[in-house]
Amino acid sequence: MNTSLITADNLSVQFPIGGGFLRKKQMLHAVDDVSLAIPKGSFFGLVGESGSGKTTLGRAMLRAAPISGGSIHYSDGKVNYNLVDLPKSELIEYRKRAQLIFQDPYAALSPRMTVRDIIAEPLEVMGITSSREETDERVRNIAAKCRLNLEHLRRFPHAFSGGQRQRISIARALVSNPRFVVADESVAALDVSIQADILNLLKSLQDDLQLTYLFISHDLSVVAHICDHVAVMYLGRLVETAPTRELFNAPRHPYTKALMSAIPSLDPDQRGNAQKLEGEIPSPTNPPPGCKFHTRCPHAIDICKQQEPKLDHLGVEHDVACHRWQELSGPA
């Protein structure tokens, strides 16, 4: 059994929104009672539609979103942190070990800074290096690993293509030598040909630097290609988790099946079989009772509208939250 780098138990993240004169504040339930363990050294995919809470869950694991309930623990063999009660001094240490690669390589980089300064900034802000020479050496090393030329370090971001900018973002995220990296839709803004290049880079860096990724994506075909584990989120809840091969061979939750059937198929015979996901994801300020997917699920029955399904353990590392997963799975 793998050891976990990050473990969330019954994690909830809520944000107050609205309010004002004679108006009550509402609570937005971005993450609701999520328990999840990310194995050390894994490429862990987190999928779901926009509004499913996956970005907020990733940020909570970086201690960049307020944790309203439950716990998150980080343990890399050298240090252990309880992220809920982390003192400020330890939060700085945690930031060195847990970093984020942004989605948009155009917005993430300051246009007024050289590439060298962009990559060096985390080292200086977190006090990791003590001299300019040491900083430059770290910057050159990580730039080379991210396949950037030394010549690139003197230039400004506008001189680069989207793929090259994403390499700069990756170098900046990895320069502090983190163990855990959240990649939030990190290839979504890139052309398909560039996506493959960046995914291959992330994979080779994982082996080289012993990284554990949380790879957040709405694109299941990308997740199937690169991740070894996948968790599926819907309206703040985890509905299914499994090793990638098992999830794609035998998805159990109706939402997972609907997401998978929407993947464009190269097989013309399969193209007509897509189960269209009807309707919109409900508002997280007013989630439906019972199973949160019941307003869109073609298999919903009375119990689904009244009772929230718990995660059932189907086997090693495969969990599903659906009252009817067994009968909907059909004969084995």
Query: Which one of 48, 70, 157, 309 is in contact with ligand SF4 (CB under 6 A)?
Result: 309
Residues 246-265 that bind ligand SF4 (CB under 6 A): 253-254
Give the whole-angstrom CA distance, residue 48 versus residue 54. Answer: 7
Q: Which is nearer to ligand SF4, 222 or 322 (CB)?
A: 322
Q: Which is nearer to ligand SF4, 105 or 251 (CB)?
A: 251
Is residue 300 a contact residue for ligand SF4 (CB under 6 A)?
A: yes
Beta bridge partners of 69: 12
Sheet holding 23-39: strands in order across?
23-39, 4-20, 69-75, 80-82
Q: Which is nearer to ligand SF4, 284 or 309 (CB)?
A: 309
Residues 260-299 that bind ligand SF4 (CB under 6 A): 291, 293-294, 297, 299
Give the whole-angstrom CA distance, residue 81 versus residue 88. Answer: 12
* CB of 300 vs ligand SF4, minimal distance in Å: 4
Q: Which is nearer to ligand SF4, 23 or 276 (CB)?
A: 276
CB–CB of 223/303 below 8 Å? no
* CB of 30 vs ligand SF4, minimal distance in Å: 20
CB–CB of 240/256 below 8 Å? yes
Give the whole-angstrom CA distance, residue 84 versus residue 154. Answer: 40
Binding string, 213-252, against ligand SF4, x = CB under 6 A? Answer: ----------------------------------------
* CB of 318 vs ligand SF4, minimal distance in Å: 16
Q: Give start and end residues of each alpha helix (H) in the chain.
A: 54-61, 88-97, 115-125, 132-145, 162-174, 192-209, 220-226, 244-249, 254-261, 302-306, 325-329
Start-to-end CA span in the chain (Å): 26
Is residue 304 a contact residue for ligand SF4 (CB under 6 A)?
A: yes
Secondary structure of residue 61 in the 3-state scheme: helix
Is residue 54 a contact residue for ligand SF4 (CB under 6 A)?
A: no
Q: Which is nearer to ligand SF4, 62 or 291 (CB)?
A: 291
Residues that bind ligand SF4 (rule: CB under 6 A) add up to a total of: 13
Give the whole-angstrom CA distance, residue 223 versus residue 240. Answer: 15
Task: Name the residues that contact ligand SF4, by CB under 6 A.
Answer: 253-254, 291, 293-294, 297, 299-300, 304, 309, 322-324
